[in-house]
């Protein structure tokens, strides 16, 4: 897999039925090793092991209902009351982060109404905080530490 602009991650990779799989510690199971999943596992490692986010408050592949359609957020951080606080959307490293990607995560946020949105392709990461008072996005220079939220 391609090296990423994220801290190295001791991934548990196996071959099952002729396909590569990677262990997802949040879902506690092996999942297909796609380029997007490679980014997800590295980014979750950044959140939990570097930025101090509690594993018990993070969910991968969180389902939501958007205008009668079932959608899945790649990763959602919850607070201690299980209210969503952050959505993270991943793309494969070769996928450019475009306005369409931000539109996608913004649609998810119409349901969850979180304070932070993050988009990453493993090489470039964008993190913004939503100021609901002014209805503006403020792009942050880095992903905040859990204690800063």
Comparing CA positions, the residue from 84, 91, 99 lying closest to residue 130 is 84
pLDDT tens-digit map of 38-64 = 999 999 999 999 999 999 999 999 999
What pLDDT is recorded for position 51?
A: 97
At the topology level, CATH places domain 35-148 in tt1808, chain A (3.90.1570)
Q: What is the pTM (predicted TM-score) of this model?
A: 0.94
What pLDDT is recorded for position 20?
A: 96
What pLDDT is recorded for position 68?
A: 87
What pLDDT is recorded for position 69?
A: 87
- On whether the CB atoms of residues 94 and 35 are closer than 8 A, the answer is yes
What SS3 class is residue 6? coil
Positions in the chain short of pLDDT 70: none
What pLDDT is recorded for position 9?
A: 87
């Amino acid at each position: 897999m391609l090296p990423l602009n994220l801290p190295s991650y001791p991934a548990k990779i196996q071959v099952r039925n002729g396909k590569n799989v990677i262990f997802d510690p949040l879902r506690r199971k092996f999942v297909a090793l796609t380029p997007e999943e490679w980014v997800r596992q590295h980014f979750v490692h950044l959140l939990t092991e570097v930025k101090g986010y509690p594993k018990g408050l993070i969910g991968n592949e969180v389902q939501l209902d958007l205008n009668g359609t079932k959608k899945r957020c790649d990763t959602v951080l919850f607070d201690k009351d299980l209210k969503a606080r952050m959505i993270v959307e991943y793309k494969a490293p070769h996928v450019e982060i475009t306005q369409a990607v931000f539109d996608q995560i913004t649609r998810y946020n119409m349901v969850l109404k979180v304070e932070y949105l993050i988009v990453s392709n493993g090489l470039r990461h964008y993190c913004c905080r939503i100021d609901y008072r002014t209805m503006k996005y403020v792009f942050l220079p880095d992903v905040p530490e859990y204690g800063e939220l």
